[in-house]
Structure 1
């Protein structure tokens, strides 16, 4: 067996503990690392032949940057505020794209698509790194560079599948980056030592990354073949939109969001997502999520309608972009408060309040867990001790059973 470098061993520890997010940040730190699909259908870093050149400084950088090792709470900028659930912010808006086509194609209000198209059209960024369906295999997701409005529209809509958004990314101030919260946190950590060089960072509320196997099995459940698709989308074409797959003969099959995500995709998440401290893009400049309507019990309604988003300006840079986009007529906004989100984002609220219990249960089962300095999880545990202890017990039992059955720690 070849001798593994210190960096390769550090990466292995993250992967085997079930803490890897598949973000691809480690590929930017050293040569010889690439992302490959694991047997479980997730993307994982692999060092060629177990080797990659790594200095002591590279190891330190990896331990600081990798969201499977550490995610530090971002600093509240001067004049900003902090919310106990949703984190730092400068301003908060209910928002949607003014262009009906953009609003229709986007996952909720089309805000990220509208901003990406506007940034490209006006030359404010050279390009935006984002994610879209593969043109040759629509059931798979790939990183793309957006330089035009049409490319932004083509990439509209959520992609609930693994993709390493940071692999091959240029983290330049001339560009923008759209990514999951963990990817944005890693990008922010990489660029933190070079002030003024970070791209404009756009994120979205994330409930976790499902396995590629989940998408493929859902396509087959609809009676279609994964290797014979003309198009496939998870959402969009309405709000929240339908999971829709079309084959070359024009046969179209679809499932509602509640069925596709709630009963299928959302049940096959990687372990690290269940231990996530930030599902709302706190490290970004702008974070966007669904502004769901809710029933009398506070549960989100997934009936079709015109999409509406919450847009959180996390930084003054993000606040400036939102305000200028609104003045230019690109998006329509009305100011709201983060307390308004507690009722319409119950999953994010519950996850933050019970995370301490999940981390405790995972550690008691013998697994390493990520370190989350600055997130003040202890008060949530104290306020809801019974709930967190029950959560810890459930996480412990599931983790032990997984190990006993010989399943991968990554599931």
Structure 2
């Protein structure tokens, strides 16, 4: 009888989770994560024009990448960036300055390509509309000297932007977003504090510019509330990419402490599965979290402090069951006392995406944590 009760409980939990998340059964959402080395990596590895043997992005660590570029003159570095902008711009371990230059070149090339597609008579009206949307996005990313640390046009597109100076700032931070974030939704005027750009910009301001902040949309996020959001597949792929980013920052930024990682919503699952160590992160902050894919803070590296932001009354994430049943759900509530995270306040915040809004106690707390206080 005990086994039957357990099975019934598991089935009931799965049904409840399905109902709350609105999965409409167990049909997959179908998001395919972008994984592996940057586009153009095969040509990069085969390029011996300068008598060099470029490191294979699929097998070389960020430390190995950093060592390769350290042996090159600035002129040779720039030449490689011009020949392989999509590789160099996404190569964790490459010099930060060089990645900015490479991504500007890659964005300009993609802008030309999408401009041509927008009027190509062989394409459909839907293709033209999509091309116009990307054209506008690329123009925006190229405008005003923005510091683009990563840019990958594959799939829904990925991008990362830096606010501040990564090599001279007192401290650094990384913002890991949740669902519905991609190249086109990296920043949105109608949701200024709920996108990676808005979150990173406000955190940079709240620290008085002393913290350089990376808005990182560097993984394939779920779209909407469905099976992708309720499972860990996309988070596992994202965790691999986040780990590589943090390893790259460890060898390319200044002597400051490793970054504080801020993980919003589904992004907290990415951070939980990444389990950063003290050489990768000075601390982890979760907010609007559906769980971290772990049972408690004890499952993470004890040398990296974990903070959990209180959930405001208007945050719908509180309606999600904090369970993990048959591969659905992300486990215990990080804000619960038994989880073991250090609490942060959320007074003044509203809704699921309002924790970085100016004047909130959450943003003030985030700034204090980012500054090592």
Q: TM-score, normalised by structure 1?
A: 0.29
Q: Which has the higher strand share?
A: 1
TM-score normalised by structure 2 residue count: 0.31
**Whose helix fraction is larger, Structure 1's or Structure 2's?**
2
Q: Which has the higher contact order (CA 8 A, sep 6+)?
A: 1
